[in-house]
Amino acid sequence: MSVEQKNSNEKPRQNPYSGIIFGIILLLLLNGLVMPRLAEQRIIDTDYGTFIDKVEEGKVKQVRMEENRVFFSALNDEGEDEVYQTGIVNDPELVDRLLNAESPNESGGIIFTKTIPRESSPIINFLLLWVLPGVIFYLIWRQMSKSIQGRLGGGGNVMSFGKSGAKIYADSDIDTTFADVAGQDEAKEALNEIVDFLHHPDKYTKVGASLPKGALLVGPPGTGKTLIARAVAGEAKVPFFSISGSEFVQMFVGMGAAKVRDLFKQATEKAPCIIFIDEIDAIGKKRDSMSSNDEREQTLNQLLTEMDGFDGRKGVVILAATNRPESLDNALLRPGRFDRRIQMELPDLQGRKAILSVHLQKVQHEEIDIDLVARATAGSSGAQLANIVNEAALRAVRLGRDKVTTHDLEESVEVVIAGAQKKGMVISEEEKKIIAYHEIGHAMVAAKQTHSAPVHKITIIPRTSGALGYTMQIDSGEQYLMSRDDIFNRITTLTGGRAAEEIICNTVTTGASNDIERATKMARAMVTRYGMSDKYGMMALETVNNAYLGGDTSLACSDETAADIDKEVHRIINEAHDKARQIIRDNLDKMHETTGFLLEKETITGEEFMQILNDERDR
């Protein structure tokens, strides 16, 4: 096929600015019809005095007076006819001059007229001044809207008032199943009944049971709330409506409620289906005692009405997710709206193993010690574990390998926790020595205590998070309860770095800032929340807010008691610090030996540290 033939078969591409061009052409045409055309003959500008002189000299043939100008034809110095124009002047004697003046005309007098101004019809004025500009601007806006939508890959108008804006996925578009969700067995079991109801509704309606109208997914960020909602739709093979709570809140009053109505209308038409509202706390916050009529409250009221209005037997299920369940309105949480509350907690040891196995299936890897990686990632969410696996795969590629190893995963855990290594950072020998003693101090105190997690790794390589070194401890198994001795020993371990600086280096540095913060937080929790203080016993002195978003606390006691709490926290930390100092003094020789080995290697394993400590290392 020739180039000419190929081009002739192609569909002509529409110019995105054709509407704008059309509007401009239309405006020019109308302007040409309405405005008078300029005379083709050349018109010479002159002053009023020259006009009067030519009248008196008898050279003017014809005069036409308009509202602001005077046009006249007269003979020039060469005796040729020329057309002149001048401005109008308040001259009461002008008419008499024209009547009495001579002229080159055959009649002997000047022919003069005055143009009668024509007044346009009010209808024409309205069309020209208001309707026509509006039509032109509408055509331009419409064409620009289509052009923008075409570039963004969408269709229709730019603004769709009252439309829900929910992303609608057909049953064939969702390939996520419960097999893709690991570490949340209890949540899957609770939601599996909804899937079974959508598959076999007769089995339940025969008994008289109805489908739960809503299920609220509650948990920390990254635990898979959105993922499991998609998995429910994928298992049930029904359409899936996904929208964020913030999308309901609009600038225009009433738009949020209109979006809610449109969402439920579409869902009813496509039933059975699943509606998923992410971050529902954006519109579902508690209503206060003050009378309010704001946009968010109207949206919430409409949501409550819609959830009451539809029939659960039609197969419309509402799933919602939030990190702040304590902020939701009680009317939203009552049975009949959200009948079930499903906890999506951080995975335990077995859950982390399952999540790592799911994500490792997507990458090429050698035999992985999943148990070690799972123990090293205590407190990590599913999203963080997925990131750790991806970081390990990226590291393998950087090192020129095509398979991920356990060492890659261990390094990626450290990257996620402490940041990447800053190998180019120059640290003086004196500071490096202090950092090494600081980290060995942590490790020594941890190793010499009972109820303390074993040391896994010690390093003095700085990280991008700001850490100049760190000591990693990994529990041998999952720990669900912590005793008073467990917490106190952890505080003691945290103070070990500062104790080593004081005793061996005869100084204190800013390197203990994070240790101090964590030790203070743990000691305070012992007094205010865990009832581990002999002075206050089982008295709750502090409440936790936003447990899934950092867990900030607020005191629930008097100012005098708050001051006394500070003294009790100070006492606990001092006792732990004294214990750490004593351990360092009792093991000075081993402190020097292990620190020398760490300065030589920069990174040592917990096994190498324990070999030196137990005199098992080959000399």
In this predicted model, what pLDDT tens digit does every residue of 525-536 receive, in sequence order?
A: 999 999 998 888
Q: Are 84 and 72 in contact (CB under 8 A)?
A: yes
Ramachandran class of 316: left when φ > 0, alpha when ψ lies in -120 to 50, beta otherwise: beta
Is residue 62 classed as helix, strand or coil in its secondary structure? strand
Fold type of domain 167-343: Rossmann fold (3.40.50)
Domain with CATH 1.20.58.760 in the chain: 429-613
Q: Which residue has the tokens 């005191």?
A: 555
Strands 240-244 and 273-278: parallel
Q: Are 231 and 215 in contact (CB under 8 A)?
A: no
Which CATH architecture does the domain made up of 349-418 adopt?
Answer: Orthogonal Bundle (1.10)
In this predicted model, what pLDDT tens digit does every residue of 85-97 receive, in sequence order?
A: 888 888 878 887 8
Domain with CATH 3.30.720.210 in the chain: 43-114
In this predicted model, what pLDDT tens digit does every residue of 236-288 receive, in sequence order?
A: 888 888 888 877 776 555 677 888 888 888 888 887 888 888 888 888 888 77
Query: HSE (CB half, 13 Å, CA atoms) of 534?
Result: 2
In this predicted model, what pLDDT tens digit does every residue of 326-361 receive, in sequence order?
A: 888 888 888 888 888 899 888 988 999 999 999 999
Closest by Cα among 315, 105, 100 to 204: 315
Domain with CATH 3.40.50.300 in the chain: 167-343
133: preceding bond cis by omega (within 30 degrees): no
Q: What is the pLDDT of residue 253?
A: 57
Fold type of domain 429-613: Methane Monooxygenase Hydroxylase; Chain G, domain 1 (1.20.58)
Neighbours of 245 (CB within 10 A): 23
Domain with CATH 1.10.8.60 in the chain: 349-418
* Distances in whole angstroms, Cα of residue 556 to Cα of each of 292, 517, 533: 29, 22, 16
In this predicted model, what pLDDT tens digit does every residue of 43-88 receive, in sequence order?
A: 888 888 888 888 888 888 888 888 788 888 888 877 788 888 888 8
Tokens linked to 579: 């214990």
Secondary-structure class of domain 43-114 per CATH: alpha beta
In this predicted model, what pLDDT tens digit does every residue of 116-125 receive, in sequence order?
A: 766 666 777 7
With vertex at residue 281, the alpha carbon angle to CA 278 and CA 285, rounded to the nearest 5 degrees, is 155
Could you confirm whether 82 is annotated as catalytic? no
DSSP 287-344: P-SS----HHHHHHHHHHHHHHHS-GGG-EEEEEEES-GGGB-HHHHSTTTS-EEEE-
In this predicted structure, the answer to whether residue 36 has a pLDDT above a threshold of 80 is no
pTM above 0.85, yes or no: no
Is residue 71 classed as helix, strand or coil in its secondary structure? strand
Q: Is 529 exposed, middle or buried (0-12, 13-18, 19+ CB in 10 A)?
A: middle
Catalytic choice (82, 297, 439, 568) = 439
Residues 6+ positions from 236 with CB-CB distance below 8 Å: 194, 195, 198, 199, 272, 274
- The CA distance from 269 to 273, in Å, is 9
